[in-house]
Chain A
Amino acid sequence: MNDIELSGISHRYPNGVQALADVSLRIAPGEFVSLLGPSGCGKSTLLRLLAGLETPSDGRVPAPGEGGVGFVFQSPTLLPWSTVRDNVALPLRLAGRARGLSSPQRRARADALLQRVGLAGFEDAWPEELSGGMQMRASLARALVTDPTLLLLDEPFAALDELTRQKMGDDLLTLWREQGCTVLFVTHNVFEAVYLSQRVVVMSARPGRVHAEVAIDAPVLRDHAFRRSPAYLEQCVAVSGTLEAAMSGPAAVTT
């Protein structure tokens, strides 16, 4: 697998708003990177460009690796008229990922993934019967069902309460280590970005551009102990400061 290389990406919306201006980024395979920034900094736009949902006005987005892309939206975005299992299996049925899997095979894969996200026993439930956190887990399972090379998450835990959010974060890290995919995680929450990622890309707004990149110095295995450690808190403060700087002044600094 190669690095994901973004160079000179710019994007202007049809209404004239410059969402991204000359963004360059390099992500190593298997890395967990957060995109952190205020609203309007184009972090979601960048994610969507990488997913292939839109084409940049300038620059070229590299094609995803062989396994393709998995995407977790801000809301669970489950089909309300399908069971949880059918929702998770949906990517396997759509043309791009046909793979010639039979119905029992698809079912087995979906069930396996539901087990890994902790939704065993809820395969036949309807999305509306699940709590917010459980729906997000299903959405995560769906994103992983095609074994993607690149996993994109757009503020997935924003709507959840703090405790659920922390638990989901830990579970996400577990899944990431098991899958071995590259993860790009968009958030506006400093604590979350620092806890989860190996590198935080701080962006500034109007127009969206990379302000700074901060490498996180922490053990590979993150846990509750890390959350209470001084090292964690110091790095949160540092990243906060960078974020404030990004929100107030222009300057692009790369470390």
Chain B
Amino acid sequence: MKPERWVPALSITLALLAWEALVHWARIPHYTLPAPSRVLATVWTDFGSLWPAWWFTLRLTLGALVLATLGGVLLAAAFALSRVLELALLPFAVVLQVTPLVAIAPLILIYVDSTTAALLLCTWLVAFFPMLANTLAGLRAADRQLHELFTLYGATPWQRLKWLLLPSAVPYLLSGLRICGGLSLIAGVTAEMVAGAAGRETGLASRILEASFRTDTPRMFAALLLLVLTGLALYALLEWAPRRLARRRPAPGSAAGSRPAWFSTSKPVKDTSCN
């Protein structure tokens, strides 16, 4: 088996075993640091109340991801087609990017009535800018000679966007998507934690807060574990899906149908750091 498969799994397993051993050997109380076995047991016993919260957080994250992707890509396409529009709107985009989420989340919750809508908005605000920045970079990354080719044959701006700019932007878009995915989860959790939520419209962040206020540390860890798993799943999905999309049929007489070179998912990433 390739090292890529078993080494990470082994290292995590060893770390978990070490954690378990430490808790037992040093007799750390469960309300300070619960053992992994206890955390897993808590996930099992509390699943009834953790599952709806998990589902809410998942829906919030994915919803924000989709909206941020759409918003970022559409806005980037508009900017690529109209420099004037870009100059006019980019300052606002930058302002949104640099304003800390924890400062504006409570305000948004005051102005927007529905808690879910408010949280979605908060998350979107954080996640859309990396998508915009990366897609814009990608749209600008098209080969100069390809641009001339399109000019030569009288392409309309729309044709240029559809057949040259957007395909060029795909690797950048995918990088942006990976960042966006991570940020959607973090921002969603942060917004909920800072601003608060109630009743059915609550996610894992509220469960963590609740557990902390009721000194139920194993439950905090259980909710945290679910969050981590969600983040990992999202990351894996955004790494794996592009590879599947890129897999193509090999041409006759050529080397084995490997991924095209241009379609590298490790393009230079615009790491517009999150809040």
Direct contact of A and B (CB under 8 A): yes
Q: Chain A interface (Cβ within 8 Å of chain B)?
A: 48, 51-53, 69, 71, 73, 75, 77, 79-81, 84, 90-91, 93-97, 121-122, 124-126, 128-130, 146
On chain A, the residues within 8 Å of B156 by CB distance are 95
CB contact under 8 A between A94 and B251, given known A51-B152, A77-B149 = no
Write 26 A-B pairs (CB below 8 A) sorted by A numbering.
A53-B151, A71-B152, A73-B145, A73-B148, A77-B145, A77-B146, A79-B163, A80-B260, A81-B260, A91-B153, A94-B150, A94-B153, A95-B154, A95-B155, A96-B155, A97-B154, A121-B252, A122-B253, A124-B251, A125-B251, A125-B252, A126-B251, A128-B260, A128-B262, A129-B250, A129-B254
User: Is B27's beta carbon under 8 Å from chain A?
Assistant: no
**Would you call the interface of chain A mostly helix, strand, loop, or mixed?**
loop
CB contact under 8 A between A95 and B159, given known A73-B145, A128-B261, A129-B255 = yes
Q: Chain B interface (Cβ within 8 Å of chain A)?
A: 143, 145-146, 148-156, 159, 163-164, 167, 170, 248-255, 260-263
A225 to B167, CA, bound (A): 47
On chain A, the residues within 8 Å of B163 by CB distance are 79, 90, 93
Asked if B153 and A77 sit within 8 Å, CB to CB, the answer is no
Chain A residue with minimal CB distance to B259?
A128
Asked if A129 and B170 sit within 8 Å, CB to CB, the answer is no
Asked if A53 and B152 sit within 8 Å, CB to CB, the answer is yes
On chain B, the residues within 8 Å of A146 by CB distance are 153
Asked if A94 and B154 sit within 8 Å, CB to CB, the answer is yes
A-B interface, 7 closest residue pairs, ranked by CB to CB distance from nearest: A96-B154, A125-B251, A129-B254, A94-B153, A80-B262, A94-B155, A77-B145
Asked if A96 and B146 sit within 8 Å, CB to CB, the answer is no
Of B146, B251, B253, B254, the residue contacting A79 (CB under 8 A) is B146
Chain A nearest CB: distance from B172 CB in Å? 13
Known pairs A73-B148, A94-B154, A146-B153; list 6 more (Cβ under 8 Å): A73-B145, A77-B146, A94-B159, A126-B254, A126-B260, A128-B262
Asked if B152 and A52 sit within 8 Å, CB to CB, the answer is yes
On chain B, the residues within 8 Å of A121 by CB distance are 252-253
On chain A, the residues within 8 Å of B255 by CB distance are 129
Asked if B248 and A126 sit within 8 Å, CB to CB, the answer is yes
Asked if B167 and A79 sit within 8 Å, CB to CB, the answer is yes
Asked if A96 and B262 sit within 8 Å, CB to CB, the answer is no
A130 to B148, CA, bound (A): 23
Chain B residue with minimal CB distance to A97?
B153
Of A48, A53, A81, A125, the residue contacting B254 (CB under 8 A) is A125
On chain A, the residues within 8 Å of B154 by CB distance are 94-97
Asked if A75 and B145 sit within 8 Å, CB to CB, the answer is yes
A97 to B248, CA, bound (A): 30
Chain A residue with minimal CB distance to B168?
A81
